[in-house]
Amino acid sequence: MYNKRFQQIDLNLLRVLSALAEEGSATRAAERLFTTQPAISRSLRKLRDLFGDELFVQTRYGLKPTPIGENLCKVIPSCMNELNQAFDQVDSFCLAEKKDRLRIAINPFLAMYLPAKIHFAIQKQAPGIELEIINWNSLSTEKLLRGELDLAINYSTEIPKDLVASKLIDDSFQLLARNGHPLAGIIATPDMLRDYIITTAIVPGWNEHNTLAQKVFSQYNIKLKLGFRSEIINAVADVTANSDAIFPASSLLPSAKFPGLTNLKLEKSLDIQAAEVNLYFHYRHRNSAYFKWLKEIIQQEVKALAN
């Protein structure tokens, strides 16, 4: 026998409840559902009447669920996601008519050229999807858990158990230096690298304390000397282009885009592999046909960037 409230409820109200639970804000819920904040407020009043409870209270940090609201928030979003996946399986989520605001966090090494490629690839099949890209930072995993981000692209990193890491590609290092650098045009040995400082990009929530380059080169007993770090990759490239510093960069960073820099050649014994590049998302999307399609699109563009 169905609960009386269940028989009375409008599915659209559940969509609003789910959005409020995951966004913690009426404004963001309205943006997510492509509606207005007053419409969200009206729906929330109907939900409050239906359940005889406030469900959410406003705080300085956003909407906080009441005990009854919290119980609903634990269940409704996952139920709505399962229902959405069921529809995805039935109609292949009709790409041409799909409406969504897709939010992705990307490691800055990949964020210079990958976002545009992903955008155009998605637009070809699903012109109704709006893409929003931000840099990966220390809050990215938390935002994935809360539903404020849909996907994230980064190297291997520790993640909460409710997130999934799906491998996109194996990345490797390239060493960039200025045109005319003392090591340019020769085959560099590990000992030669010890004489130069390195420049590198800072990625909050990933390498604030130890760079991936330092970790990898330490396996060859090479202690790199840090000289300049920045969250702005163009600044790192500029310092490198105007000094004898060496910039260990992802092979996915197109060196051709930096005309003042050249690739250094390393002896074959120094076979340096960086790390896996992964796609991160909440486990509730693991069986979603929509998210599987997104992964295919992103993996295709990442591999194209590597070639």
> Which is nearest to 294 in space by CA: 305, 306, 276, 280?
280
pLDDT in single tens digits along all 307 residues of the chain: 445 666 667 778 888 888 888 888 888 888 878 889 899 999 999 989 888 899 999 888 788 989 998 888 888 877 877 777 666 655 555 788 888 899 999 988 888 889 999 999 999 999 999 999 999 988 999 899 888 899 999 988 889 888 999 999 988 878 899 999 999 989 988 778 888 998 988 877 777 667 767 776 777 777 778 889 998 889 999 999 999 999 988 888 877 788 899 999 887 656 566 678 999 998 888 878 889 899 999 999 998 887 7
User: How far is Cα 203 from Cα 106, in angstroms, rounded to an integer?
Assistant: 10
Domains of the chain from N-terminus onward: 4-92 (1.10.10.10), 95-167+277-306 (3.40.190.10), 169-275 (3.40.190.290)
User: How far is Cα 228 from Cα 245, in angstroms, rounded to an integer?
Assistant: 9
User: How far is Cα 19 from Cα 121, in angstroms, rounded to an integer?
Assistant: 27
User: How far is Cα 82 from Cα 85, in angstroms, rounded to an integer?
Assistant: 5
Q: Mean pLDDT in the chain?
A: 85
Q: What pLDDT score does 1 carry?
A: 41
User: How far is Cα 15 from Cα 139, in angstroms, rounded to an integer?
Assistant: 25
Query: Tokens 């997104």 belong to which residue?
Result: 294
Helices (H), 92-189: 108-111, 114-125, 140-146
pTM to 2 decimal places? 0.68
